[in-house]
Amino acid sequence: MAMAPDDGTLDAETAAAALLWWTATGVGFTLNERPTDHFAAPAPSIEGRPDRPLAVPAAPPALVRPPLARLEPPALAGASAPTAAAELAASAQDLSSLRAALERFEGCALKRTATQLVFSDGVPGSRVMFVGEGPGGDEDRIGRPFVGRAGQLLDRMLSAIGLDRSRVYIANVVPWRPPGNRTPTPEETQACLPFIKRQIDLADPEILVCLGALSAQTLLGVKSGITRARGSWFSYQREDERPIRALAMLHPAYLLRQPSQKRAAWADMRALAAALAGAPRPQ
Ligand code: URA
């Protein structure tokens, strides 16, 4: 392995490895052009007394620079993010306009740290729509949902019941990658909610499958944990008030960490297959 030279600079290989590590752990911004070695700064005095306040060393100039402009809250022209989202989403009459509306939407901070919008995969109008939590690193890079390891497992689960991406539609509750693959915050989720609801209406599935806790909580109002809710059928109320059937399932990423749960997921896939084998909806 290459070593860092003594002068504190990094050789290209070490710098590239450090960048990969930082992005994987969620470091999305640089605040200063040069690093600050806080260990090298003089330690604050610990002799604080009421008559003699703690000595705090002056901050190095780099620390008092204002944060980069892109950390500031987005301009929403006076509307709150969910209100702006609801108006934009409702105005979209088809999926390509909805995608364009999301590209214009500035009300979710995730957009500013993600590489690109991850809108959908599969075929709108399919009988089943899967909704996950949010894109991960691979999805953020490629621009399609469920293309990483969890997505490959989802593909194997689909194929086990004779499906593939040409026969389902796939999206996420939030369409931008949360930094470091963290769970989206309630604010981020609420800001994106009108879009995924509109996407469900426009994709028009017969059955909605919510993958993982965040999707089941957000779209189906599930309050219990996903391990309890999985395998249960719900009624999902579309925005136009038409109810459709919805199934809560374990997230494939969870199955990768807990392979012993694959048996439960297999039972849920069979339940989905059985529901699809029932009479299709009238056209
Ligand atoms: N996990 C998700 O919830 N969605 C993706 O697209 C990928 C991983």
Cβ-contact 62, 35 below 8 angstroms: no
Domain boundaries, the chain: 78-278
Tell me the mean pLDDT in the region 255-277: 98
* 134 close to ligand 1 (CB < 6 Angstrom): yes
pLDDT band for 40, please (50, 70, 90 cuts). confident
Q: Which pLDDT score, from 0 to 100, does residue 69 have? A: 41
Residue 98 has pLDDT above 90, yes or no: yes
| Ligand 1 site-directed mutation target among 144, 146, 226, most atoms within 8 Å of CB | 146
Q: Which residue has the tokens 């579309």?
A: 238
| Ligand 1 site-directed mutation target among 129, 133, 251, most atoms within 8 Å of CB | 133
51-63 per-position pLDDT tens digit: 444 444 454 444 4
Cβ-contact 24, 180 below 8 angstroms: yes
* 133 close to ligand 1 (CB < 6 Angstrom): yes
Pair type for strands 207-211 and 121-122: unpaired
CA distance 14 to 22: 12
Tell me the mean pLDDT in the region 27-39: 57
- Burial-class residue 51 by CB neighbours within 10 Å (0-12, 13-18, 19+): exposed
**What percentage of residues in the chain have a pLDDT greater than 90?**
68
Residue 130 has pLDDT above 80, yes or no: yes
CA distance 253 to 167: 22
Angle subtended by helix axes 149-160 and 262-277, to nearest 10: 50
Task: Compute CA distances 128 → 1, 39, 82, 214, whole Å.
Answer: 48, 55, 27, 19
Task: Compute CA distances 150 → 9, 90, 179, 253, 258, whole Å.
Answer: 37, 31, 18, 5, 12
Q: Which helix (H) or strand (E) holds 249?
A: strand 243-249
| Ligand 1 site-directed mutation target among 120, 130, 139, most atoms within 8 Å of CB | 139
Token couple for 253: 């990423």
The answer regarding whether domain 78-278 maps to CATH 3.40.470.10 reads: yes
Residue 264 has pLDDT above 50, yes or no: yes
* 201 close to ligand 1 (CB < 6 Angstrom): no
* 139 close to ligand 1 (CB < 6 Angstrom): yes
CA distance 133 to 208: 14
Q: What is the CA radius of gyration of the chain?
A: 23
The pTM for the full model equals 0.75
Higher pLDDT, 30 or 196: 196
* Cα dihedral 276, 247, 132, 265 sign: negative
